[in-house]
Amino acid sequence: MDKILLMLQLQAQLNDATNGEKWTKGITKNGKTINWKRCIYMECAEMIDSFSWKHWKNINQEPDWDNLQIEVVDVWHFIMSLAIENYAQNMKGTVENLAIDISALESFSIVDIQNKAFDTKDNVIEKVENIMLLSLSREKLELEELIKDFFELTLMSGLDLDTLYKLYVGKNILNQFRQDNGYKDGSYIKVWNGDEDNVVMKRIWEKNAEITPELLYRELAKLYHNLNK
């Protein structure tokens, strides 16, 4: 449960910083409407582009599993945000209550094991589209089903709770770094010497699995500073 709770807490803090402390009401501090469901299905569409799904183009191209894993983590940001919002609006409890409830789900046990195996392209795409269908539905939010499908997708994408946690913390720190370096006004540089910053962040984690969030931020800052020399 500890890793789930920490990820939820980090997500709530990030949303507080970027959207204002009343974001769970569905409005940013600038008065812009928040739609976490739309964020989920749009990110899922990007996830499918990790595969050569087009029958008329790049038909022999290998799946981009690294990009898929990054997109899985991005979707997790939005699912957690949607869940926190849902608990707040329906008075179900705090982030701590949500963490307890997620950890108690039967589906949670499937990601709380070590895993590095990928499923087939077709199975992964089908699972992604299931998540899209749930997020596109105008019926009552099936939060437990959404989280179940996400945990199954996590496993199918060669991830588990530990690797999901590490990539999430890395992406959370990267998002903070982006906000601190002009992401909102468009001045931030997302491609660093030919690699997207997501890839750079993932590479840092892979080289040092024990790196702290603070050291990760400093390493990103050092690389970004050298980029702008």
CATH number at residue 153: 1.10.4010.10
Enter the pTM of the model: 0.86
Which of 7, 16, 176, 100 minimizes the C-alpha distance to 25? 16
The pair of structure tokens assigned to 52 is 């050569």
Assess contact for 109 and 87: CB atoms under 8 A.
no
pLDDT confidence bin for 58, thresholds 50/70/90:
confident
Domain assignment present for 89: yes
What Å distances lie between residue 153 and 5, 91, 221, CA to CA?
20, 29, 32
The pair of structure tokens assigned to 229 is 């020399």
In one-letter notation, the amino acid at residue 31 is: G
Helix axis angle for 65-89 and 2-19, nearest 10°, is 80
Domain assignment present for 192: no
Q: Give the pLDDT score at 229.
A: 63
Domain assignment present for 222: no
The pLDDT tens digits for 119-150 are 999 999 999 999 999 999 998 999 999 999 99
Alpha helices by DSSP H, listed for 137-227, are 143-156, 161-180, 197-207, 213-227
Domain assignment present for 82: yes
Distance between CA atoms of residues 100 and 35, nearest Å = 25
Bridge partners for 195 per DSSP: 192
Domain assignment present for 103: yes
Q: Give the pLDDT score at 18.
A: 87
Domain that holds residue 65: 2-168
In one-letter notation, the amino acid at residue 176 is: Q
Distance between CA atoms of residues 115 and 151, nearest Å = 12
Please determine, for residue 21, whether its predicted confidence score (pLDDT) is greater than 80: yes
Domain assignment present for 84: yes
Domain assignment present for 138: yes
Mean model confidence pLDDT for the chain: 91
Domain count for the chain, please give it.
1
Please give the helix or strand (H or E) that residue 141 lies within, else none.
Answer: none
Domain assignment present for 176: no
Alpha helices by DSSP H, listed for 56-160, are 65-89, 95-104, 121-136, 143-156
